[in-house]
Structure formats: C-alpha cells, structure tokens
A and B are shown apart, each in its own frame.
Chain A
Amino acid sequence: MNWQSTLEILQDNLGKALADTFFMVSIATVVGVVFGTLLAIALFLTQHHLFSPNAAVNNVVGFIVNAIRSMPFLILLVVLIPLIQLIIGDPYTPLGGAIALSIAAIPFFARIAENSFTEVDSGLIEAAIATGAPTRQILCDAIFPQALPSFIRGIVLTIISLLGYSAMVGTIGAGGIGDMAIQFGYNRYETGVLIAIVVLLVVLVQAIQWIGDLIARAVTH
C-alpha cells in the first residue's frame, strides 16, 4: 500500500467527489422530502375514517409507491437511464445521479412520513376535528407538530440511505465518493483510498445521525 499515491489521489479527487455526493444527496433529500410528504398526506387522508376515506386513491397511490420501493436501487437506476437521458441528455453525471436518487427517495420517504402521521394519537386527531378546524389546520397545527420528531428521524434515515445509494450511481460514473472508492479503490487496487473513504463515510454517517437525534430531541416536549 503506497501512502504517497493514496494522498495524491485523495488530494486531486476527494474535493470534487465530496461536492458531487453532497450535490446529489441534497437534491434527492429535498425532492424526496417535499414530494414524499405530499404523497404521505394523500395516503394518510384517504385511509383515515375521519378524513376523506377513498380506497381507490389509496390503493393506486400505494401501489405505485410500493412498486418503486420494491425495486433494488441498482435495477431502478438501470431502468431510469433512458428516462434521464430524455430529460437531461447525459445521464452519467452528478445531475443524472441526482434525478435517479430523487425518484427513489420520493416513495421511500412517503412511507416513512405516512408512518409518522399514523403514529399520532387518534384521540388527538378526534379532539382537533371536534373543534371544527379545517383539515389543513389539523394537518399543519396538530398532526405535524406531533409527528415532527418522528419526521426528523425519518429524514435522517433517508439521508443516510441516500448516501449509500449514491455510491451505486458511482458505478455508472455519475461521480461522488462512492464512484471514487470503486474507481480507485477497487478497479486500481488503491486500498489506501478505499480505507480513507470508508472511514470518511463512517464519520459522516455518525455525525448526521448525531445531529439528527439532537434536533429530534430538541423539538420533543
């Protein structure tokens, strides 16, 4: 193991790789959380007897969510390549990776958010409805504040999962630290680089989890 070459490689490539990973995971997280929450609200309201029970809508949306989630990400990625090509031309870029990750993130987070909502005490929901509040207010001012700690933990889980998935988009050359680990660490036997990136990932994930837990606890009363 040649430490000098390891350091050289890291110096030349780590900066961009980290930036690419950050880019992809951030976009996917934001898109996943925003659209996943909307889907979760639809799923939640259509299966709750006090809101707008609608088996048809619930089943259709549920089916789509389940279908995407059931695909191993690598396969989803391959399936999405033609679609991404249509949208941005070259799928083998960080932007292409971000799109693929976003599509995976949406149903992933939808189920997590839906779970956070259904965990809210039904008595609380009953009381909120009894005040004559409109559904929007019940969601924003009663259900969401109660679901917030669980919601935040769900976001942390999503970020960490996306971090893992982002390594896979590296296999199609979309960049990121996963790509770097495979390119240098695996293909060119630069074990030092592999170790360095693994350590980096461990530290990153620990930090994200720790910060997330801190925030979740801060909003729990």
Chain B
Amino acid sequence: MALLSKQNKEAFTNPLNLDHPILVQVLGICSALAVTSQLKPAIVMGLAVTVITAFSNVIISIIRNTIPNRIRIVVQLVVVAALVTIVSQVLKAYVYDVSVQLSVYVGLIITNCILMGRLEAFAMQNKPWPSFLDGVGNGIGYAMILVVVGAFREFFGRGSLLGFQIIDCKDFNNGMMTMPAMALILVGCVIWIHRAYFYKEK
C-alpha cells in the first residue's frame, strides 16, 4: 500500500476543509475558545492537540482488535489521559509561562471531543498509518482556527502579535477583544464565512 494513496491523502486533507472538526463537525469547541486570547498559547495548544490526536489515534489503531467492545471508552480515555499527562509535563518543563496561561485547559484536552470523536469514528476501524494522517489532519484543522482567532484577538485587543508590539500606541488596550464573549462571536463569524464559501449542504 502506497504511503500517500488517494484514500490516505483524503484522510489528511478532508479535516482541513470539508470535514473540519470545529467548523463542520462542531467538536472541541471548549478549549478552542478559551485559549485564544493571545497567539502564543493558541499555537502551543494547537501543537499539543495535534500531537495527542495523532499518537492516540496510532495507539488505539494498533490495539483496536484486542479491545473488548464494552470497555472501549475507558480504554480510550486511559490512553488519552496518559498522553495528556506526558504533554503537560513537557510543557511545564520547557514553556512554563505558557503552561501557566493554559492552566486547566491542558488537562481538558482529555475530554476534547475531537480526540474521542476521531478515536471512535476513525481509529477503531482503520490501520495505524491512515489513522496517524487523520489525527494530524484534524489536529492541524483545529490549530488553524486557534491561530486565526488568537492572532485576531491579540492584534485587535492588545495591538501586538506573539508579544511583539505592532501598533505602537501608548495606551492601546481594547479590553472587549480579550474578553471571552468576543471569542464566541469571532468563531461564529469564521463559521459564517466558511459556510458561505466552501460548505455545501448535502
């Protein structure tokens, strides 16, 4: 089997647009909204979720034939929780300030619906390599939204990007943009634009 056959390619590219985890499947909204008040935590969170989705997909896909059907949810939760613990320790060791900003939302990756959704819908039926691609695709799709919303909120809220001041005005501070409410409205607008241009009702 070719590494990038047509099906494998679709497993990777579908979640980036037509089968997008946030915009179309409406999964994993909780953390997507909460960590986007600045760009840096948004990027770190996107990376963390991509890594965890990809590897939990691979692990579950490898052991999928040995999991008894009745307890599969618990097995999936344990695999995900173990990976999240590792990622959380790595974040604390190397980017401590970001891990403080993310606070409980790193732990909440466990209950991120993208993970459970992909494990149930894809990894339980497919071989490890396509599952890996599917996980990476979904993770990147999720990270895209985080980066767009995070950049928008940091730029218009604080006039900076990644902590560098871009609008050089002394008292530039638009508190509304950094408030939780604007994250919801921005994601609503992103969904509006996406549906208007790409998404076709079946």
A binds B: no
| Chain A residues proximal to chain B, CB less than 8 Å | none
| Chain B residues proximal to chain A, CB less than 8 Å | none
